[in-house]
């Protein structure tokens, strides 16, 4: 077994997942990184402090991918201390007219991925392990064409509460982080522009009254919350959804 703590980070090829992998490695963790784009994962690992890091590429909603990840972790480390599930996908849909299979694709991927990674991680965890899922303020808020994404995030929040209850006897803590606006590739619109640089964002959130801190978060700020939830100061927090949104959801 490694002397250092171990963590799996899904969605690690970009955005919050990449920042989280970098933060945990800097904090002394061996990290296992997962995403579908293997070249980006290998590029990421080259930037990390030296360690017994693992690259486990593939779709985290595919049980075969997760089975292989669990086998690799067991062989290399023998245990897992932390899961931070940052992977996600947003598919614009019309709640009434989008074909059913298209509408549910984001829900299936994110909910299945959250459950499969949690089962894999929990099977490898000692008492004191941590499961952390990055969800969204969309778990309690909605916007046009975002219904499948919002339903998926709400479902994962509830999954975290259920896991927290069922894993408490084993000393495993389970929480979610619900970010608001974060400057990641997911803020890039289909036309290639970044919504966080748009006049709409500036008028509503920088000049307006809807976002008290008047800016989007950086991925590293979300990674810092994950590091806190994984650390020694969060031993009495479980079943919670921590909103990290610059005050966005306290306004109207």
How many Cβ atoms from other residues are within 10 Å of residue 165's Cβ?
12
Q: Which of 29, 60, 149, 205 is catalytic?
A: 149
Confidence class for position 193, pLDDT limits 50, 70, 90: confident
- Specify whether the CB–CB gap between 129 and 122 falls below 8 A: yes
| Separation between Cα atoms, residue 66 and residue 59, nearest integer Å | 8
Say how far apart CA 237 and CA 228 lie, in whole Å.
11
CA distances from 140 to 147, 148, 153, 206 (A): 11, 13, 8, 23
For residue 205, indicate whether it is catalytic.
Answer: no
Query: Which CATH code fits 6-189+216-250?
Result: 3.40.50.720
Mean pLDDT of 206-224: 94
Q: State pTM to two decimals.
A: 0.95
Residue 1 has pLDDT above 80, yes or no: no
Name the residue with higher pLDDT: 153 or 3: 153
Summarize pLDDT for 119-147 with one digit per residue, the tens: 999 999 999 999 999 999 999 999 899 99
Q: Which residues of 96-125 are buried (b: 16+ CB within 10 A; e: fewer)?
A: eebeeeebbbbbebbbbbbbbbbebbbebb
Contact 7, 29 (CB under 8 A): yes
The whole-angstrom distance between residue 118's C-alpha and the CA centroid of its chain comes to 12
User: pLDDT digits over 66-113, tens only?
Assistant: 999 999 999 999 999 999 999 988 888 999 999 999 999 999 999 999
How many CA atoms within 13 Å lie on the side-chain side of 186?
23
Q: Average per-residue pLDDT in the chain?
A: 95
CA distance 139 to 241: 10
List, for residues 166-189, the tens digit of each pLDDT value: 999 999 999 999 999 999 887 777
**Nearest to residue 88, comparing CAs of 161, 15, 164?**
15
Q: Are strands 6-10 and 54-55 parallel, antiparallel or unpaired?
A: unpaired
């Amino acid at each position: 077994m490694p002397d250092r703590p171990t963590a799996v980070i899904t969605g690690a090829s970009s955005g919050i997942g990449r920042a989280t992998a970098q933060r945990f490695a800097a904090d002394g963790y061996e990290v296992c990184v997962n995403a579908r784009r293997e070249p980006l994962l290998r590029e990421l690992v080259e930037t990390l402090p030296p360690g017994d890091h693992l690259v486990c590429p593939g779709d985290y909603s595919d049980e075969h991918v997760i089975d292989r990840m669990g086998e690799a972790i067991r062989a290399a480390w023998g245990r897992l201390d932390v899961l931070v599930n940052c992977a996600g996908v947003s598919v614009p849909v019309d709640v009434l007219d989008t074909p059913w299979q298209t509408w549910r694709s984001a829900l299936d991927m994110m909910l299945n991925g959250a459950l499969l990674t949690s089962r894999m991680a929990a099977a490898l965890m000692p008492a004191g392990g941590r499961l952390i899922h990055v969800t969204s303020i969309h778990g309690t808020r909605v916007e046009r064409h975002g219904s499948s994404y919002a339903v998926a995030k709400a479902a994962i929040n509830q999954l975290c509460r259920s896991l927290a209850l069922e894993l408490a006897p084993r000393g495993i803590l389970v929480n979610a982080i619900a970010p608001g606006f974060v400057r990641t590739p997911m803020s890039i619109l289909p036309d290639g522009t970044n919504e966080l640089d748009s006049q709409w964002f500036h008028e509503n959130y920088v000049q307006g009254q809807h976002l008290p801190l008047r800016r989007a978060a950086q991925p590293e700020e979300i990674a810092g919350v994950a590091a806190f939830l994984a650390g020694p100061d969060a031993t009495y927090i479980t079943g919670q959804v921590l909103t990290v949104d610059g005050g966005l959801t306290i306004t109207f």
